[in-house]
Chain A
Amino acid sequence: MNSGETIYVQRFNAFARILHFFVIISFLTLALTGMCLKFSTESWAQWTASMFGSFRVLGVLHRIAAVITFGYFFGHFILVYHNYRKSGKPLLRFIIDENTGMVPNLRDLQEIGQTIKWFLGKGPRPAYGRWTYWEKFDYLAVFWGVAVIGFTGLCLWFPVFATRYLPGWFLNIATIVHSDEALLATGFIFTIHFYNTHLRPEKFPLDKVIFTGVVTLDELKHERPREYETLVREGRLDEVITDPPPRWLVIFAYVFGLSAVTIGLSLIFTIFFTLLKYGLR
């Protein structure tokens, strides 16, 4: 390894990082307040509600977090538009671009195969690009999740308004879908996303890139060789090389990031043991 100074590369801009900050805040709030209602017969849920004074406080927090969710959902389109303009490519080309697009493509399919081989020790580490397939899945899952949970949530938030256009029994369906999709989302984020991103041995205990926005050049070369090659080929490497992150940001990343991971993990363990007690209902 180069014993000289470490070179840093910008991966996420400030806007993207702020969006993710809001995702964390709102998601943890939604998960905690929502699960308290879903498992309201459990003592931990009742204890939490009493800590907040009333289940109505939980309800208000849930709705505030929902508004934040809609905020980042629509706010992220600004980011997409920004990146689209910066890329200088036509819209469709931008979306399905092999290197920068978020839509899965054939190459991702290939990489899934290569990854399995790699896992089994029958091949080298795939030369991942800017977005791995599991990162794309995370992104699209939020897309789908916000749409489904958001719509059903709005129906349950404004049931009288909703039933002006929908039959009353839709609220029954909305309850099931909202609750089960939320269980899926929390389960997925607090186990799979946490593991893939932070808790797997290579990254343990935290990948702070989402807070600091930067990775070292070595990391980039090792983890996303294809992106590195593209940057070199397109001669844009100098554009993305940046200063080391300020010390306060690194501290913040650890404190905030590890807190969020801890909260998420404790929540998912609680849910897991509650489900073990009753089964999926």
Chain B
Amino acid sequence: MKRDAWKGKGFLKGLFLILLLGLTIDSHNALAMTNEECLECHSDEGITREADDSSVYVNPDVFAKSVHGGEDCMSCHTDAKGEDEHPPHLKKVQCSMCHEDIAKTFDGIIHGKAHGDKKQTAPSCKSCHGTHDILPPDDPASKVYILNIPATCSRCHWKEKAGGGKGTLPKNAMNIHGKAIEGGITVAAVCTTCHGSHDVVAYTNPASPVSYKKLKKTCTRCHAGLPAIHKNVIKPSIWVKDPAKIPLCIQCHLPHGKRKLKYPQVFTDDYCLKCHSNPNLIRPDRKGGIDSLYVDTDEYDEFAGTMHKKKGLTCVMCHPKMDREENPVCKNAGPVDCSTCHADVFNDYLHSVHGIKRSGELDPNAPSCVDCHGKHAILAKDNPDSLINPINIPRLCASCHAKGEKASIRRGEGVDVVSTYLKSVHGDGLENGGLVVSASCVDCHGGHKILPSSNPKSTVNKGNIRQTCEKCHYGVGIKLAQSVHNPPFGADKSLFPACTDCHTSHEILRGTDPNYRRHEIQACAKCHPEEAETYLESYHGKAAFLVGGERVAHCSDCHGSHDILAVTDPLSTLSGENAVKTCRKCHPKANLSFTTYRTHASHWDKEKNPDMYYSFIAMTSLLLGTFAIFGIHTILWIPRSLKERLKMKKDSDA
């Protein structure tokens, strides 16, 4: 009985649900609009949005022919509900509702990121594909039909437009691929063939098909049989024996530019040096001065011993933009683009303070590759003549960062960081000790990816500095990890001292250096002001301030340095028997009673040190009392004594 009753209830519940569902569907139907209903208004050519007067006209014929012609308007414009009224401002259509995978790829790439960052020029789906007029890619009328792609991309990637800088299409300078497309050849490479479409990333990104590493593979998708084609310029045996020596395709064949040349055959190094070995070869530079174009191969051996020469690079591999129609052919060759080969480090550089300043903020003072690496005389780092040999690094950085130089002026630095560095333990090791493993500028700040210390990603940011120091001072890291100064898991790291808080940065000194010893108290006082104050009341603290005072016990002599523990910790240098040992470092016969001396005790602290408090009060009362009594005595005496003196004078005069 009971069971049946329960069944009956369930039946009723089911019926109720079905009814409810029916009602819901009914109401939905009542609000939904058919395409005909939409087009009743939107097929009117003059229809505009109230808010901004922009046209919301939809050509019914075009829409019917488009790939989405069979779909309901409502399937994309989901919020267009209402019988004849819908919200005045419809939401943007989310293509990702159906094209989920593509949307996901797109979000991670340049265009998608720019979109996420709300950059005005950032393209969305419709920028390339259109809106109601989307046609399949094989339809010659489609915006993404192969012959139309250059036009679609160049809407933004035109020299004057955004997306700019490198990789922009030079006007009227279509290369052979472009000419083929113009000629209607549908198998010629267009932008997307090499760069990808929804997954396009910067060429500096190793994932890009046109990155240094992937480029060859990308080109050979169409251009097979390279050894045979290049047999006149590249020895066929090299393809097998030493393929690394073979330059990248784009080093000889410009990726975008106009070109109909076979470079190395014509533009050999000898060809270049016909002019450039002339020491008087100059041209006016942008600032109104003179720029020497002389390349000295003999006297300075500029090129012979360099890395690029060893790798067998020729002039035109770095200076590829030769143009036969110009005179001389190198007239508009432009600057060398190191990123063609050094894409990874160039990417780091672009995100560094140097790169951002130079490319983003257009600061001509910010260094480019050649400012640190040299032009033709680029030597390996381990060559002592190399600008970036550790021995030469401080001088290299000083050329901008020394006091009075451009970087120092811009940063408004009052101190000369480089000369301060040279006086530090690191600088001394490098300069005077000749120790190349001693940290130079780049060891702490990084080489290509230099960021200001305020940047959380910087190697010298407070949050990362310990990691940076521990690259060399590994053992210190182990000790620190067990000390009280090690931030426990999840703790706010900024509350704990970083290496530089105690040791400072550029002026860093050896722990035994008198100047460091003097600095140590101040360093500890930053977080332990009361302890520093009471220390200064003790003999140690007072003597520490005088010449030679570095000999007396400072904070670290008693508490330890990197392995410092709380005084309450049984393993601390100041607990029980350990304290005797610690005191014995200077007082060889110290005993337990000796260690009960209170180093950090204030006579003002009545609660903790009543003995000292009352001693001080008693002594001070005695002092003030004595002075009060004798002060009055003296003041009273003065006029009387003056009179006596005058009387004496009178007597003697008489």
Which residue numbers of A lie inside 8 Å of B, CB to CB? 1, 36-38, 40-41, 45-46, 49-50, 52-56, 58, 116, 118-121, 125, 134, 156, 159-160, 163-164, 166-169, 171-173, 175-177, 180-181, 183-184, 187-188, 191-192, 195-196, 200-202, 204, 280-281
Contacts and interface: CB of A to CB of B under 8 A. Distances in A.
A176 B612 contact: yes
B448 to A, nearest CB: 47
A36 B548 CA distance: 13
Contacts of A54: 546-548
B222 interface: no
29 contacts: A37-B542, A37-B543, A40-B546, A40-B549, A41-B536, A41-B545, A46-B545, A46-B546, A49-B546, A50-B546, A54-B546, A125-B644, A163-B591, A163-B594, A168-B595, A172-B597, A172-B612, A176-B616, A176-B619, A177-B619, A188-B627, A192-B627, A192-B631, A195-B637, A200-B641, A201-B638, A201-B645, A202-B641, A202-B644
**What is the predominant secondary structure among interface residues of chain B facing chain A?**
helix
Given A156-B539, A159-B587, A45 B546 contact: yes
Interface of B: 536-539, 542-549, 551, 587, 589-591, 593-598, 601, 603, 609, 611-612, 615-616, 619-620, 622-623, 626-627, 630-631, 633-634, 636-642, 644-645, 648, 651-652
A195 to B, nearest CB: 5
A168 B619 contact: no
Contacts of B638: 200-201
A192 B594 CA distance: 39
B174 to A, nearest CB: 77
Nearest to B640: A119
Nearest to B647: A202
A174 to B, nearest CB: 9
A40 B616 contact: no
A172 B551 contact: no
Contacts of A177: 615, 619
Contact of B538 (A167, A175, A180): A175
Contact of A171 (B547, B597, B637, B645): B597
B636 A160 contact: no
B650 to A, nearest CB: 11
Contact of A119 (B543, B548, B591, B636): B636
**What is the predominant secondary structure among interface residues of chain A facing chain B?**
helix
A169 B545 contact: no
Given A159-B594, A202-B644, A181 B619 contact: yes
Contacts of A168: 593-598
Contacts of B637: 119, 195-196, 200
A52 B637 CA distance: 40
Nearest to A200: B641
B282 to A, nearest CB: 59
Contact of B542 (A38, A50, A188, A280): A38
Contacts of B648: 202
Contacts of B622: 180, 184
Given A156-B539, A168-B596, A53 B548 contact: yes
B596 A169 contact: yes
Given A52-B547, A172-B598, A184-B623, 17 more contacts: A41-B545, A45-B545, A46-B545, A55-B546, A58-B546, A116-B636, A120-B636, A134-B633, A163-B596, A164-B591, A167-B596, A168-B593, A171-B597, A188-B626, A188-B630, A195-B634, A202-B648
B611 A172 contact: yes
B548 A163 contact: no
B620 A180 contact: yes
Contacts of B591: 160, 163-164
Contacts of B633: 134, 192
Contacts of B598: 168-169, 172
Contact of B590 (A52, A160, A192): A160
A219 to B, nearest CB: 10
A253 to B, nearest CB: 20
A187 to B, nearest CB: 7
Nearest to A188: B626
Contacts of A172: 597-598, 601, 609, 611-612
Contacts of A120: 636
B546 A173 contact: no
B645 A202 contact: yes
B547 A50 contact: yes
A187 B634 contact: no
B396 to A, nearest CB: 39
B546 A160 contact: no
Given A37-B543, A49-B546, A175-B538, A280 B620 contact: yes
B611 A187 contact: no
Residue from A41, A45, A50, A53 having most chain B Cβ neighbours under 10 A:
A41
Residue from B547, B616, B634, B640 having most chain A Cβ neighbours under 10 A:
B547
Nearest to B644: A202
A56 B551 CA distance: 10
A56 B548 contact: yes
B598 to A, nearest CB: 5
User: Which 3 A-B residue pairs are closest in the complex by CB-CB distance?
Assistant: A168-B596, A54-B548, A55-B546
A151 to B, nearest CB: 14
B616 A180 contact: yes
Contact of B549 (A55, A160, A163): A55
A156 B590 CA distance: 13
A249 to B, nearest CB: 23
Contacts of A280: 620, 623
Nearest to A116: B636
